[in-house]
């Protein structure tokens, strides 16, 4: 079956996002299943700091020991919440983990030719968004700050588990993962479809024409990151391509905001934390990332640029 | 008697497995994904097969207690069938000029870096033509403008822009890190010989010599073409961004 060029591009991008997501979704749903099966609420209560700030800080760096990308962070965060981790800590984890993890640090440093300062700036910007959002959420009434507890009907662990005796071991683990997978994949596929349509049908040439402008470049790359919805382990390579024409602040903003608010996971995030929290996350993260990117551009301008932005292939 | 709900879930899981197997067997996986992810994708296929098998076994064991499932859930599962059907029955072609999304070709042309060219040891350049765009870029990143004069053979999609001179065209490739969704254009300037021409929006193979062309202060990497030959789309049309 051959398609017209534009439809071909849409189909290729759509299928590629779905296939690429599969391993990372599986990592997320199996991590979630492991938490479901082996992490007790008593253990969570023992290790979780009582005060909000230390708990949020812990949530923001938990990705370093539970390395899941953006496709896996939401299922795992939701499962942690179901096990007694406070909602605001689970949300902090979901926002920070796609960037604050060793795999993404490695891919970023490879993309930027061994420049660890880019990795540090990227992680710092991500944490600086996740922590305030976590703290704000901790002050919200429980009716606002809630996570969808279990997968949708039919994919539900509760519904699926009700029809057979409780089990442990690897079969139960796979059953939990199965239920989580069907809940997550619907939203991943929906997000992939919207992302592919956006990438293929929305012209981005005009948006990218403002590359050298300190403010315009940030204003262009942030929504582009949200629209493109590139995996956190691959976006540094795209950002590196932009780095020859765009400001450093805008490139960092691209790598930060794209993992917090993106189309691909937007539907799943919406389903998990609800419209009001999504709007809060979007507003706070866009303001903070934009401000930080402006500051980075000012500092870079004062220092006279950075070495890897030379345009050399 | 089997539980239809769990059989349907098993079928979807096996559907994803079938897509992965088909794409590997036909060699079409490179039209979607970077080969660097092949081991991870293959492992995902094995895990999905295991999940599907368990779901199928469970459908025989617990059909009597299967919960009710609504129309909305069936519609949700229909969406999962779309990428499976496309993966199985759609013949993918590589991204073309339309995937530029309105980005200007002349703004994407590769150039030699600013500042002094890297120092290279005095060693003779390879006598053979450099194999393709990725080899050319690796060579230029080592030699800078000292590599001018090297023979090259590059493949890509021939494109034109209104900003180009009459004897110029662009050779377009896309590089990917993980999958086609993160593709970025790589555009090389080609200078055709007198009276030279190329079929536009088609894959071509160009043999020529590495050169430099200055424009608006940029020192553009260019290939002065000796020959331009139309070719079929290569098996792996993408460059690796890694």
The tokens for B54 are 């368990």
Query: Using a CB-CB distance cutoff of 8 angstroms, which residues of chain A are in contact with residue B110?
Result: 313
Q: Do A203 and B47 touch (CB under 8 A)?
A: no
**Considering only CA atoms, which of B166, B156, B214, B221 is closest in space to residue B192?**
B166
CB nearest to B69's CB, from A154, A230, A245: A154
Least confident stretch, A70-74, A205-209, A277-281, B36-40: A205-209
Higher pLDDT pick, B234 / A264 = B234
In the listed set B59, B89, B119, which residue is the last one of a domain according to the structure?
B89
| Calpha distance B106→B104 (Å, rounded) | 6
Q: What is each CA distance from A64 to A68, A78, A90, A303, in whole angstroms? A: 9, 18, 15, 31
Q: For A170, what's the count of Cα atoms within 13 Å in the CB-facing half-sphere?
A: 4
For chain A positions 210-249, those within 8 Å of chain B (CB to CB) are 228-231, 233-238, 240-241, 245
User: Could you tell me the two tokens for B121?
Assistant: 């040891």
Of the candidates B33, B100, B113, the beta carbon closest to that of A311 is on: B113
Nearest residue of chain A to residue B97 (CA atoms): A5
User: Could you give the 3-state DSSP secondary structure of residue B189?
Assistant: strand
B118 and B52 inside one domain: no
Distance of residue A126 Cα from the nearest chain B Cα, in angstroms: 21
Same domain, B156 and B224: yes
**Interface touch B73/A15, C-beta < 8 Å:** no
d(CA B198, CA B209): 17
**Whether residue B227 sits in one domain with residue B151:** yes
pLDDT in tens, A43-57: 777 888 889 999 999
User: Is A189 an 8 Å CB contact of chain B?
Assistant: yes
Interface test with A, best of B103, B108, B179 (most A CBs within 10 A): B179
Number of domains in chain B: 2
Distant-in-sequence, close-in-space partners of A90: CB < 8 Å, separation ≥ 6: A59, A77, A78, A80, A81, A147
Please give the average per-residue pLDDT across A28-38, as a whole number: 82
Do residues B43 and B80 share a domain?
Answer: yes
Find the distance separating the first CA and the last CA of chain A, reported in whole Å: 37
Determine the Cα–Cα distance for residues B50 and B53; give it in Å rounded to an integer.
Answer: 5
Q: What is the mean pLDDT of residues A96-112?
A: 86
Q: What is the pLDDT of residues A226-236, one digit of tens each?
A: 988 887 877 88
Instruction: Assess whether B136 and B179 both reside in one domain.
Output: yes
Residue A204 DSSP label: -
Which residue of B66, B77, B83, B99 to mutate against A (max A Cβ within 10 Å)?
A: B83
The residue assigned the tokens 């700091």 is A49
- Confidence grade of residue A21 (pLDDT, cut at 50, 70, 90): confident
pLDDT by 10s per residue, chain B, length 242: 667 888 889 999 999 999 999 999 999 999 999 998 899 999 999 999 999 999 998 877 765 555 555 656 677 788 899 999 999 999 899 998 888 877 888 888 888 876 555 555 545 566 667 778 888 888 888 888 888 888 899 999 999 888 888 889 999 999 988 889 888 889 999 998 766 778 888 999 999 999 999 888 888 999 999 889 999 999 899 998 76
Question: Last residue of some domain: B48, B64, B89?
Answer: B89
Residues contacting A221, CB < 8 A, separation 6+: A242, A246, A250, A251, A253, A254
Considering only CB atoms, which chain A residues are within 8 Å of B19?
Answer: 15, 19
Q: Print the domain residue range for B193.
A: 97-240
Which is it for strands B184-191 and B238-240: parallel, antiparallel or unpaired? unpaired
A171: which residues sit within 8 A by CB, 6+ positions away? B54
B98 contacts A29 by C-beta, under 8 angstroms: no
Distance (Å) of CA A218 to CA A209, A224, A256, B44: 12, 10, 12, 37
Residues B134 and B70 in one domain: no
- Identify the band that residue A166 occupies on the pLDDT scale cut at 50, 70 and 90: very low
Q: Looking at the structure, do residues B38 and B111 belong to the same domain, yes or no?
A: no
Rounded CA separation B189/B115 (Å)? 21
Q: How far is B218 from chain A (nearest CA, A)?
A: 10
- If you compute the radius of gyration of chain B from its CA atoms, what whole number of angstroms results? 24
What value does the mean pLDDT take over residues A157-175?
60
Closest CA to B156 of B127, B136, B178, B126: B136
Domain co-membership, B153 together with B176: yes
Through-space distance between the first and last CA atoms of chain B, rounded to whole angstroms = 51
Residue A22 contacts B where some CB pair is shorter than 8 Å:
yes
Q: Using CB atoms, pick whichever of B55, B99, B181 lies closest to residue A230.
A: B181
Q: Which of residues 40-99 of A touch B (CB under 8 A)?
A: none
The residue among B214, B207, B168 whose CA lies nearest residue B191 is B168
Domain check: are B117 and B80 in the same one? no
pLDDT at A164: 46
Question: 110-169 in A: which are within 8 Å (CB) of B?
Answer: 110-111, 152-155, 159-160, 162-164
CA A207 to each of CA A197, A204, A224, B21: distance values in angstroms, whole numbers, following the listed order: 17, 5, 8, 39
User: Is A3 in Cβ contact with B140 (below 8 Å)?
Assistant: no
- Residue B173 maps to which CATH number? 2.40.50.140
Q: Tell me how close the Cα of B136 comes to any Cα of chain A, in angstroms.
A: 10
Average pLDDT, chain A: 82
Measured between beta carbons, which residues in chain B are less than 8 angstroms from residue A174? 50-51, 54
Count of other CB atoms within 10 angstroms of residue B77: 20
Note the pLDDT of residue A96: 94
Q: Are residues B11 and B43 in the same domain?
A: yes
Which residue of B lies nearest to A178 if distances are taken between CA atoms? B51
Residues B56-106 pLDDT 10s: 988 777 655 555 556 566 777 888 999 999 999 998 999 988 888 778 888
CB-based contact B99 A200, cutoff 8 Å:
yes
Nearest to B97 by CA among B161, B28, B190, B33: B161
Q: Tens digits of per-residue pLDDT, A203-212?
A: 777 667 766 6
Which residue among A162, A189, A229 sits closest to B83, beta carbon to beta carbon?
A189
- Domain end call among B70, B89, B108: B89
Tell me how far CA of residue A50 lies from CA of A45, A47, A96, in angstroms: 9, 9, 20
Same domain assignment for residues B31 and B131? no
Which two tokens mark B202?
Answer: 């088609």
pLDDT of the residue at A266: 83
Residues B64 and B131 in one domain: no
Q: Phi, psi at residue A311, to the nearest 5°?
A: 85, 0
Task: Specify whether the CB–CB gap between A179 and A79 falls below 8 A.
Answer: no
């Amino acid at each position: 079956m051959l398609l017209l060029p534009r439809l071909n591009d849409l189909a290729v991008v759509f299928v590629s996002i779905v296939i690429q997501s599969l391993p990372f979704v599986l990592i997320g749903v199996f991590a979630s299943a492991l938490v479901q099966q082996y992490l007790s609420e008593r253990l969570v209560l023992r290790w979780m700091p009582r005060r909000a700030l230390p708990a949020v800080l812990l949530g923001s760096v938990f990705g370093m020991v539970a390395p899941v990308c953006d496709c896996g962070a939401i299922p795992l965060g939701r499962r942690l919440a179901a096990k007694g981790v406070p909602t605001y800590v689970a949300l902090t984890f979901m926002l920070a983990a796609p960037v604050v993890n060793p795999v993404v640090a490695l891919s970023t440093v490879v993309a930027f030719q061994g420049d660890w300062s880019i990795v540090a700036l990227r992680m710092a910007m991500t944490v600086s968004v996740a922590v305030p959002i976590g703290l704000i959420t901790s002050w919200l009434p429980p009716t606002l700050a809630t996570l969808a507890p279990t997968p949708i009907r039919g994919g539900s662990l509760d519904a699926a588990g009700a029809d057979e005796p409780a089990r442990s071991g690897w079969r139960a683990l796979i059953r939990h993962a199965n239920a989580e997978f069907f809940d997550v994949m619907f939203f991943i596929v929906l997000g992939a479809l919207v992302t592919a349509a956006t990438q293929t049908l929305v012209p981005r040439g005009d948006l990218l024409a403002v590359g050298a402008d300190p403010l315009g470049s940030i204003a262009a790359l942030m929504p582009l990151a949200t629209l493109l919805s590139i995996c956190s382990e691959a976006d540094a390579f795209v950002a590196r391509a932009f780095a020859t024409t765009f400001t450093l602040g805008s490139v960092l903003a691209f790598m930060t905001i794209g993992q917090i608010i993106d189309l691909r996971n937007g539907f799943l995030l919406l389903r998990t934390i609800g419209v009001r929290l999504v709007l809060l996350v979007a507003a706070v993260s866009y303001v903070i990332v934009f401000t930080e990117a402006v500051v980075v551009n000012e500092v870079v301008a004062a220092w006279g640029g950075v070495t890897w932005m030379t345009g050399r292939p | 008697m089997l539980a239809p709900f769990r059989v349907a879930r098993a079928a979807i899981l096996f559907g994803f497995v079938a897509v992965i197997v088909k794409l590997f067997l036909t060699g079409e996986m490179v039209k979607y994904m970077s080969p660097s992810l092949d081991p991870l994708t293959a492992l995902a296929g094995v895990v999905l097969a295991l999940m599907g098998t368990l779901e199928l076994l469970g459908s025989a064991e617990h059909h009597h207690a299967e919960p009710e499932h609504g129309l909305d859930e069936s519609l949700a599962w229909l969406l999962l069938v779309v990428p499976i059907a496309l993966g199985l029955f759609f013949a993918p072609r590589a991204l073309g000029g339309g995937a530029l999304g309105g980005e200007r070709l002349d703004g994407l042309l590769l150039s030699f870096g600013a500042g002094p060219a890297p120092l290279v040891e005095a060693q003779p350049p390879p006598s053979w033509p450099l194999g393709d765009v990725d080899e050319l870029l690796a060579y230029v990143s080592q030699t800078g403008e000292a590599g001018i004069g090297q023979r090259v053979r590059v493949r890509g999609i021939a494109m034109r822009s209104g900003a180009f001179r009459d004897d110029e065209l662009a050779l377009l490739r896309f590089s990917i890190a993980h999958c086609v969704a993160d593709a970025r254009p790589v555009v090389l300037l080609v200078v055709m010989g007198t009276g030279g021409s190329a079929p536009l929006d088609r894959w071509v193979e160009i043999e020529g010599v590495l050169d430099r062309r200055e424009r608006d202060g940029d020192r553009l990497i260019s290939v002065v073409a000796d020959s331009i030959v139309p070719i079929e789309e290569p098996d792996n049309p993408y460059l690796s961004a890694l």
